[in-house]
Amino acid sequence: MPRHRTWAAAALLAVAAAVCVAPGAAAMTAASAPAGVSTAAADTASDAMNARATALVAQMTVEERAATVVMGHIGGTDPAALHAYMGSGLGGFILMGANIPDSEAALQRLTAALTIDPALPPLIAVDQEGGIVSRLNGDDYPASTTLKDRPVADATAAFAARGSLVARSGITVNFGTVADVTSDSGSFIYGRALGSDPQGAADRVAAATTAQEQFVASTLKHFPGHGAAPGDSHSAIPDSSMSLKEWRSTEAKPFEAGIDAGASLLMFGHLAYTAVDSAPASLSPAWHEIARDELGFDGIIVTDDLGMLLSSGDPAYADPVANGVAALAAGSDLLLMIAGSDAGTAGRMTAGIAAAVDSGSLSADRLEEAATRVVTLRLRLSAATAQWTPCPDCDPVD
């Protein structure tokens, strides 16, 4: 039975009480977002939204479906240039540091420009973990480097404030919850992990997920877990010989907790757990089946940056379009390509996906399934009506 939490279709869930944030920071609270939606009503609304997404995708050409499953990227802060780039019908855009202007107002204008059709806005994503990986200005809230040693309630407060900051900027997806776990302080992922033991990480990942999902679609990364696979996947394909049985009792726990808490997206890492599959998890049907059938995840599976596979230097992964098609065929729904990309990369990815369907090397049904998941989330997020206003009476976290 899928464990992904059902959202209310009418709006993002309102914060029941004012969000308390880090010392010296202004807390935020949601207004104009109805709370207390019954489970039955939410299920009915969810079914209606799924039906609408299915109908929209049924009307799309193969090329339009292919574009929908690509999350593009170009640099710069010119709203007009970004608007023109999104005119090809891409399903999403990821903001990197070079896309972030100095002021929040300028960022809001930029994110607004990414929308071509207001009835179906793209997914606008950012990596806002806080601390070591932080794109947005004004995120002074506690992050993984300290949260791993603090009470779980502190993770809730920090990520509620972080989620509000992201949402106020017009960003709808945060690739911000690191569910990897390691006790090795020498690991490159140690400083970004929310816990140094499986249970501690699981508790904080669940808290971060619940807090953010009130504001944005949150993401768990990097499945099936960097902790047991030493090395940096930005420049190599880390591997682990850990058995599936051991994985279930260790690395899996934070991901399972985040899924149970309602994470909207699950990011697959370029990590090879050779006891399960010699291929990177991002290209592995076996790992996609484990996420769906064993952990019960029914949201969007997104790849980590496919450009990282090119950076590994492995000739087997030298073709980014082939990597994208392989990830889709394995079970991913949304393809992310940043490193080594240019203004034409997303278009080439789209064309390659469509060509793979035409040749039969990628199932048309698989592409339709992926596009429907992406469109469903786009519709769900576009229905949100929450407004964020300062909360001057909130007490700061000590």
How does DSSP classify residue 253? Answer: H
Catalytic residue ranges: 234, 304
C-beta of residue 132 within 8 angstroms of C-beta of residue 192:
yes
H-helix segments, the chain: 39-58, 62-68, 79-85, 104-113, 144-147, 152-168, 198-212, 244-249, 252-260, 285-289, 307-311, 320-330, 345-359, 364-382
**Cα–Cα dist 353/321, whole Å:** 8
Q: Torsions phi, psi of 363, nearest 5?
A: -65, 135
**Cα–Cα dist 178/254, whole Å:** 9
C-beta of residue 33 within 8 angstroms of C-beta of residue 336:
no
H/E segment holding residue 28: strand 27-31
Dihedral, CA of residue 280, residue 283, residue 285 and residue 288, to nearest 10? 80
Report the candidate in 29, 28, 175, 168 with the shortest Cα–Cα distance to residue 111. 168
- Expressed in angstroms, the distance from the first to the final Cα of the chain is 40
Q: How, if at all, do strands 217-223 and 335-336 pair?
A: unpaired
